[in-house]
Structure 1
Amino acid sequence: MPSRASAKNQWDFRRGIATARVLVQLGCDHGASLDALLAGTQITPAQLEQSEGEIEASQEIQLIRNLLQALPHIPTLGLQAGTRYHITTYGLWGYALLSSPTLGDAFSMGSRMLNQTFSLTTHKVEQVGSQVQITSFSEHLPEDIRQFVLDRDRSAAITLQRELLGKPVPYNIVMMQRAEPSAELADAYTQVFGIRPLFGQTHDRSLLDAAVMHAPLPQANEHTAQMCEAMCRKLVEARSIRSGMADTVRNRLLRTPGHIPDMEEIAAEMRVTSRTLRRHLTAEGVTFRSLLEEVRSTLTEELMATADLTHGEIATRLGYADVTTFIEAFRRWKGMPPSAFRREQGLARGVTGRGIRRRFIPR
């Protein structure tokens, strides 16, 4: 189990206001009043409407406590909350997950950068034999909200995994420390996890086959991929407004996280030749390469600022053949290597500048 000090560092961080919106909406959907949910949190209704706001972990804890006090008759609140945290709830960090090559890569990045999430539990992911073992820790949390948070965070993880793979992740065993609940609640757990949990265990732990970690991520959830595309498009459009063919091409470059198509592919989808596509873009004063650089440059800066990816991880997500090619491109955009840009902007450096990172899942 993590030490008390390290556990605090892993959960007591400022988090996006989106988590408060999720919890407030859940409460309101069940009939709780907005005033009751926000009491003592120092969160205002106006803050809930802000896309870039942040709150302290202590404010979220008070909000959870209010939610439980307002709706004590609903034992599945935590599970319900977790199903409302979608990839797109997490902003660019969610895009970084969705564009990961495999589930193992997504796990590695997600576990390393837990402070980009809304988790209040802490986690340990390790491979034991042919299985991956995920252990959740909650002893650092107030007892009155502990089970809700465990349910919320584990349910949210399953929601993310399902959206990443496009199908449920098959768990072999799910363990819970809590005592055997009512049959109705046990059924609710079974529906979320896809397997009936073992209750009264020594740990809150899940096990699945390690082979699942090597599964390529297909970005199969069309709705989630579209929302990520819209989010990224908004970022890129803030830099430069496009119209006509240029806008169509740029939007297509953003459509498939983890795979940026070349001009031949886009032209084929548009049922024109690449020569015709090039001529239309030239008439609008742009080139395919300039649009591609525009997309990659903007997403690079955002991923550096919000997801703390290594240069190698960014290169993979933006379709570069290798990290060296990415670094050369970055020099063209900014006149300096990405490591110097990070220092100048006060951005986190990532694990290394060459894309080598710790993996939780051996490959």
Structure 2
Amino acid sequence: MITPEAPTWPAPDSRRPAMGTLLLVRLAVERGLSPDAALAGSGLVVDDLESPDRESTAAAEMQVIRNLAAWAGPASTWGLDAGLRYHLTTFGIWGFALVSASTVQEAVDIGMRFIDLTSALTAPRPDVDDAGHLRMVFHEPDEPADVARFVVQRDLAAVQVILEEVLGRGARFREVTFQHEPVPGTEERYREVFGTEPTFGAERNAVVFDPTTLEARLPQADEHTSALAQDQCRLLLDRRRRRAGLSGQVRDIIVAGLRHPPSAPEVAAALNLGERTLRRRLAAEETSVRILTDEVRAGLAAELLVSGSLTVAEISHRLGYVEVSSFSQAFRRWHGMSARSYLAAHPRSDG
């Protein structure tokens, strides 16, 4: 991906691990806020976040942070407390790719390349300071001061945790800077989290790497494992991007009713849109309900076939085909070969 350069990143509908939002809700509950109150206005319920493969959106996560910031009050360091809960394991394959990199510099490069797989809300980007040291700059989101402070606290504290998990406990940044001033009495909490004296009222929110840290070889470095993890990051990022925007919402509706694929008028009704509006907006995304239905069917057909859990006839029925022959013709059109040939080239996962 292209490293984000502007504070408009991420897009509100961009998807991210639901675990990041769940960690915020758990913090809220511990501090006396109910789950419903923590999630108010986000369009989510706790059940949406519990499954490890569930996703949230940037907009939903930001709303939860607004709720926490309002509850915590202006003197809060809850953002720092939240950031300490974000570990490499929180981000799945992204974290695995970082920990298996050869050096900290390579881990930074990988992390930025796939930053959309994290819960960051600060548009982090690498930069070089006046002394030639690599620093990571974090843009404050366009939010009220208490919300922006919470987000910056969280994202920088999470980066501190990740540095220690990649390099070892006790690893520190050369410098940590914040644009905001600390509320009197909270300075010690910042020192505890970062293990150093942060600079406040700075030009940028940033962490600065020591050159020797960047060159350090990581304890779990493995070139083969890192390459495989990065491949998985690319695949996951591609899937998430395909589900963004109106197209993503339409895909979800199609998947939910695939045995009786919804028509364009039915999809429009489900989205509370006029049919002409739906068609126009999908056309702007260079797609249509018919194209999306075909894409969903093609992807699921291949996945279900290789999983080995269903017969071709059962897959055909699941995807809304009355006749297996119609499904077989469609499969050949999608994948350029018969289901049998596809399976020979991609052996069933159950062996």
Instruction: Work out which of the residue numbers 151, 161, 164 in structure 1 matches 2:163.
Output: 161
Does the 8 A contact of 1:96 with 1:307 survive in 2?
Answer: no
In the alignment, what sits opposite 2:119? 118
Cα distance, 1:302 vs. partner?
3.4
In the alignment, what sits opposite 1:175? 177
Question: 1:172-224, CA deviations, whole angstroms, 9 ceiling, x for partnerless residues?
Answer: 32221112431x310110111111112122221222322211101114xxxxx
Runs of at least 5 residues in structure 2 that lack an aligned partner in the other structure: 239-305, 307-334, 336-351
Secondary structure in structure 2 of the residue aligned to 1:44: coil
Instruction: Work out which of the residue numbers 251, 254, 258 in structure 1 matches 2:222.
Output: 258
Does the 8 A contact of 1:134 with 1:206 survive in 2?
Answer: yes
Letter in 2 for 1:83: L
Does the 8 A contact of 1:11 with 1:120 survive in 2?
Answer: no
Indicate the structure (1 or 2) with the bigger Cα radius of gyration. Answer: 2
In the alignment, what sits opposite 1:231? none
**1:8 correspondence with 2:8:** yes
2:204 and 2:116 map into 1 onto residues whose CA distance is: 23
In the alignment, what sits opposite 2:140? 138
Alignment of 1:61-76 (within 5 A): 61-72=62-73, 75-76=76-77
In the alignment, what sits opposite 1:89? 90
Letter in 2 for 1:19: G
In the alignment, what sits opposite 1:305? 235
1:85 and 1:159 map into 2 onto residues whose CA distance is: 7
In the alignment, what sits opposite 1:53? 54
RMSD: 3.1
Question: 1:38-77, CA deviations, whole angstroms, 9 ceiling, x for partnerless residues?
Answer: 1111111211212212222111111111122233376110
1:202 and 1:114 map into 2 onto residues whose CA distance is: 23
Does the 8 A contact of 2:5 with 2:123 survive in 1?
Answer: no
Does the 8 A contact of 1:11 with 1:115 survive in 2?
Answer: no
1:5 and 1:99 map into 2 onto residues whose CA distance is: 27
2:63 and 2:182 map into 1 onto residues whose CA distance is: 27
- State the identity as a percent: 30
Q: 1:148 to 1:58 in 2, by over 3 A?
A: same
Q: What TM-score do the two structures reach when normalised by structure 2?
A: 0.61
Runs of at least 5 residues in structure 1 that lack an aligned partner in the other structure: 220-256, 261-294, 309-333, 335-343, 345-363
Does the 8 A contact of 1:177 with 1:202 survive in 2?
Answer: yes
Does the 8 A contact of 2:19 with 2:49 survive in 1?
Answer: yes
Cα distance, 1:101 vs. partner?
0.8
Secondary structure in structure 1 of the residue aligned to 2:183: coil
Does the 8 A contact of 1:103 with 1:165 survive in 2?
Answer: yes
The ranges of structure 1 where at least 4 consecutive aligned residues each deviate by more than 6 angstroms after the TM superposition are 2-5, 295-301
**1:79 correspondence with 2:80:** yes
Q: 1:177 to 1:6 in 2, by over 3 A?
A: closer
Secondary structure in structure 1 of the residue aligned to 2:136: strand
1:164 and 1:52 map into 2 onto residues whose CA distance is: 24
Cα distance, 1:127 vs. partner?
3.4
Cα distance, 1:167 vs. partner?
2.4
Q: What TM-score do the two structures reach when normalised by structure 1?
A: 0.59
Letter in 2 for 1:258: D
Q: 1:179 to 1:55 in 2, by over 3 A?
A: same
2:227 and 2:8 map into 1 onto residues whose CA distance is: 35
Does the 8 A contact of 2:94 with 2:114 survive in 1?
Answer: no
